[in-house]
Amino acid sequence: MTNQTTLIIGANSAIAKALALQVIDNNDSHLIVVTRDISFYQHEKFSHCKVISIKDYQESSIKTVVQAIGEDEAISISQVFICHGLLHNDVITPEKRLQEFSAESFTEILTANTITPMLWLKNLLPTLKGKQACKVVVFSARVGSISDNKIGGWYSYRASKAAINMLLKSAAVEFSRTAKNIKLISFHPGTTDTPLSKPFQKNVPENKLFTSEFVAKQLLQIVEDNKVDGEASFLDWQGKAIPW
């Protein structure tokens, strides 16, 4: 008998941790987490989970992790959450004007938000495809919507999220022929009270700044409600479609 398994990648983010806790509390799914920092998952609550430490997100490391996951034939992955995301760090801030655009910063943001999630999808595909319905969620953002861009700015972050959306769209077309059991979801969590959004929260209405626990609960329900239909969906925290 196979175990229904949830796989969380980039599991050190606030939303990823909230997802992991809720999956464990539901007691209806085996859990695998992949993260560079496993300290949060040393709690006894996760004693029955498979916690995989990864040194970096180069493709060679990704391949090693995927190989380890695939070796357990009893595991049947039914949902995957790819939680990577970079908006700012000690040296990168979102551009307010074109003169602030930097090739180095753009490359770093594109790697985190676009290239790394696609490397996971590429390498996981042989493990995920089959008879078991599987929903794969990649964290995107509403600012990645080209048609919704009315105020400009944030060049690198917007472009990286628009790029992951297009890549997921293209992958869904391919999967509709070759991996019909997989549903791709590009997810906008809303403004969540995490380190990623912290510098930009002052203008967010109080009822629009969400906890990680709330977003995780919403996301798990969205995944449950969406059927495998051969298409990619771009959805917000309410489960509402966002224009591409």
Helical H segments across 112-201, by residue range:
116-128, 155-178
Tokens 């380890």 -> residue: 68
Angle 155-178/116-128 helices, nearest 10 degrees?
20
pTM, full prediction: 0.93
Q: Which amino acid is at 182?
A: I
Q: What does the pLDDT average to over 173-182?
A: 98
pLDDT > 70? residue 204: no
Q: Which amino acid is at 58?
A: Q
pLDDT at 1: 43
pLDDT > 80? residue 67: yes
pLDDT > 50? residue 212: yes
Strand ranges inside 67-125, DSSP E: 75-82
Query: Per DSSP, what are the bridge partners of residue 76?
Result: 4
Polymer length of the chain: 244
pLDDT > 90? residue 202: no
Q: How does pLDDT run across 128-158, given as a tens digit for each residue?
A: 999 999 999 999 999 999 999 999 999 999 9
Task: Return the structure tokens found at 7.
Answer: 């796989």
Within 13 Å, how many C-alpha atoms sit on residue 200's CB side?
15
Strands of the 134-139 sheet, one edge to the other: 50-53, 30-35, 3-9, 75-82, 134-139, 182-188, 232-236
When the pLDDT of each residue in the chain is averaged and rounded to a whole number, the result is 93
Query: Per DSSP, what are the bridge partners of residue 31?
Result: 6
Q: Which amino acid is at 68?
A: A
Give the gyration radius of the chain's Cα atoms: 17
Q: How far apart are CA 60 and CA 212, in angstroms?
A: 31
